[in-house]
Structure 1
């Protein structure tokens, strides 16, 4: 919780811009937990330093811009990125090969669930871009759907727990498992929608 308190102080003094920049750094693989950053943004809204709905919008944009930047870097520079020192530290060649294998096996599902896998997001997004197997707009759609679950969850959790820190700490610890449940339900809903759409197309032929 020490990190959370430091972020709350920083964001309360600097507002939306600080939250946005912090989320860009999270997307770039800096070891700053995205969930704690989002919660801190929600807390300062709960304390009256920001509007929670604007905060939710700002954080959504920050998350998506950071993720998209990693995807586009992977798309344009591919394996050459592994020679860049920051990227080489984040994703050594052995890890890149392993990530390629996972992407080949799970594809779109991996891009969706990467949002709920701290420590893997940046590597997944870079690999997704480098493989050239998925368009930017498909990536943005899948990442955006996942972000619509995770980003409001953390921001509003921080907002409602701004003056109840023990309660907030408990739900931060429980939050990841709760997000897995929400993500799983969302994936099931997507699969049902896709199956019904396919059935309608087959019947129309």
Structure 2
């Protein structure tokens, strides 16, 4: 957890701005784990350096802006981005082709669950933009719904575990599987609501 401790030190000294910038870098695909960054933001709130609710709001905006940036770059530049050195390193042509196949097969579901797949988010968001099959508003809605699950989870985990190091480390390790459960439950609720809405429309006819 050396990275977590270093982030806590940086964020405690520089506050919300540092957390926001770090999340933009996460969205750009830099090897900085988004979950650890969010936890560190929550920890400094738990230590009294920030307000936890304001931190949750700042991190939500940082995550969405970073993700939207990757989507819009993919939308405007498409496959030309693969020639840019940082993007070529992050997503070589073979990986881009595989991502296109997955996107064609899973579409909206892939955009939603990419939030819970570390290491795949940036590639998925760039591909979503490059395919021109998804509007920006649909992307933002799906990404925002997923972020409403993951971002508060990590931030408040850091907040409540700020003074309980062993407990925090344990839940960071368990966190990804817990998020899969939460994401699955959220998807199930959405499907049930959609099914009930469809039934009502049919009965109204």
Q: TM exceeds 0.5?
A: yes
User: How far apart are 1:143 and its partner, in Å?
Assistant: 0.4
Residue 81 (structure 1) aligns with? 81
Residue 137 in 1 paired to residue 125 in 2?
no
| Secondary structure of the structure 2 residue equivalent to 1:134 | coil
Provide the C-alpha distance between the structure 2 equivalents of 1:135 and 1:52, rounded to a whole number of angstroms: 33
Provide the C-alpha distance between the structure 1 equivalents of 2:77 and 2:202, rounded to a whole number of angstroms: 40
Provide the C-alpha distance between the structure 1 equivalents of 2:129 and 2:51, rounded to a whole number of angstroms: 34
- Number of corresponding residues: 205
- Unpaired stretches in structure 2, ≥5 consecutive residues: none
Residue 176 (structure 1) aligns with? 176
- Unpaired stretches in structure 1, ≥5 consecutive residues: none
Residue 194 (structure 1) aligns with? 194
Residue 149 (structure 1) aligns with? 149
TM-score (norm 2): 0.99
CA RMSD of aligned residues (A): 0.6
User: How far apart are 1:203 and its partner, in Å?
Assistant: 2.2
* 1:7-42 deviation digits (Å, cap 9, x = unpaired): 000000000000000000000000000000000000
Residue 163 (structure 1) aligns with? 163
Provide the C-alpha distance between the structure 2 equivalents of 1:112 and 1:180, rounded to a whole number of angstroms: 11
TM-score (norm 1): 0.99
User: How far apart are 1:202 and its partner, in Å?
Assistant: 2.1
* 1:147-190 deviation digits (Å, cap 9, x = unpaired): 00000000000000000011100000000000000000001111
Provide the C-alpha distance between the structure 2 equivalents of 1:67 and 1:146, rounded to a whole number of angstroms: 12
